[in-house]
C-alpha cells in the first residue's frame, strides 16, 4: 500500500525482541520503528495455548497501533505484533525469570514432544486486523542432569518461552522439529511475508539491488 505521496507505508514492529527484528531483517524488511507493547501475559483460567498466543498477539498489536496513531509520522503505518507460547499438552510453560522455573521446564521437556504456537497480528493502515497462528511440533532428547545444570548455568533460558531459545545452545537438545523453525525462534517468516504481502505491503521491493 502506498501513501498519498506514492511512497510505501511504513511498518512498525510491536516488539522489542532482537530475535523478531533480526528475522524481519533476514527477509529484507526493516521496520520504521519498534513500538513494544507492555501487557499482562498471564493466561486466563482454562485458556488453551493457541488461544493465549492469539489473544496476546492481538492485544499487543492493538496497544501499539493506538500509540502509533497518535504519531503524525507513523499514523498510517502497518503494525505487526507476535507472541510465542510453548505447551506440553494443554499445559502452558512460562517465560522463566527464576532458575527453579527454568529447571522445571527442562525436566518437563526432556525426552518428549511439545508444541510451539506463534501468533502474528497485523493491523493495516486502514485499521483492518489480520491474525495467523502457526503451530510447530518439537521434540527434545532425554536430558541428563549435567546437561540441564550446564544449560541453566548459561542463563540463556531467562525470559524465553518454555525456558529455551532454539537458535541458541538448546538447539543441541532438539531431536525433531516439524513445522516452522523461524516460528519457534519467534516469527514464522513464510507466514509473515504472506500476511504482509496479502495486505499490500511491498515485501520484496528491498530485494532489488541488495547485496547477495
- Answer yes or no: is pLDDT of 3 > 60: no
- Answer yes or no: is pLDDT of 212 > 80: no
Reported as a pLDDT band with limits 50, 70 and 90, residue 4 is very low
Say whether 131 sits in a helix, a strand or coil: strand
- Domains annotated for the chain, with CATH where assigned, are 11-207 (3.90.950.10)
Q: What is the pLDDT of residues 69-85, one digit of tens each?
A: 999 989 899 999 999 99
Residue 206 is predicted with a pLDDT of: 76
Q: Which of 197, 178, 142 is nearest to 27 (CA)?
A: 197
**Active centre residues (catalytic):** 83
Average pLDDT, stretch 164-192? 97
Question: What letters, b where the CB count within 10 A reaches 16 and e where it falls short, cover 170-207?
Answer: beebbeebebbebbbbbbbbebbbebbeebebebeeee
Q: What is the pLDDT of residues 114-162, one digit of tens each?
A: 999 999 999 999 999 999 999 999 999 999 999 999 999 999 999 999 9
Give how far the C-alpha of residue 160 lies from the chain's centroid of Cα atoms, to the nearest Å: 11
**C-alpha–C-alpha distance, residues 129 and 106, integer Å:** 36
Q: Which of 82, 83, 84, 68 is nearest to 32 (CA)?
A: 68
Q: What is the pLDDT of residues 82-98, one digit of tens each?
A: 999 999 999 999 999 99
Transcribe 5-46 into DSSP letters.
TSPBPPEEES---HHHHHHHHHTT---SEE-------PPPTT
Amino acid at each position: 500500500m502506498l501513501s498519498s505521496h506514492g511512497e510505501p507505508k511504513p511498518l512498525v514492529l510491536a516488539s522489542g525482541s532482537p530475535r523478531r527484528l533480526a528475522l524481519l531483517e533476514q527477509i529484507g524488511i526493516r521496520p520504521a520503528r519498534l513500538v513494544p507493547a507492555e501487557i499482562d501475559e498471564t493466561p486466563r483460567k482454562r485458556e488453551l495455548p493457541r488461544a493465549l498466543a492469539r489473544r496476546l498477539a492481538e492485544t499487543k498489536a492493538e496497544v501499539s497501533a493506538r500509540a502509533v496513531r497518535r504519531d503524525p509520522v507513523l499514523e498510517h503505518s502497518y503494525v505487526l505484533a507476535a507472541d510465542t507460547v510453548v505447551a506440553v499438552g494443554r499445559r502452558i510453560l512460562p517465560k522463566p525469570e527464576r532458575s527453579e522455573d527454568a529447571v522445571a521446564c527442562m525436566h518437563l521437556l526432556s525426552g518428549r514432544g511439545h508444541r510451539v504456537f506463534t501468533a502474528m497480528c497485523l493491523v493495516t493502515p486502514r485499521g483492518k486486523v489480520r491474525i495467523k497462528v502457526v503451530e510447530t511440533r518439537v521434540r527434545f532428547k532425554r536430558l541428563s542432569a549435567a546437561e540441564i545444570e550446564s544449560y541453566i548455568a548459561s542463563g540463556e533460558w531467562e525470559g524465553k518461552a518454555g525456558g529455551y531459545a532454539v537458535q541458541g545452545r538448546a538447539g543441541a537438545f532438539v531431536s525433531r522439529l516439524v513445522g516452522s523453525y523461524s516460528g519457534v525462534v519467534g516469527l514464522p517468516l513464510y507466514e509473515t511475508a504472506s500476511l504482509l504481502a496479502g495486505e499490500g505491503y511491498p515485501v520484496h521491493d528491498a530485494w532489488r539491488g541488495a547485496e547477495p
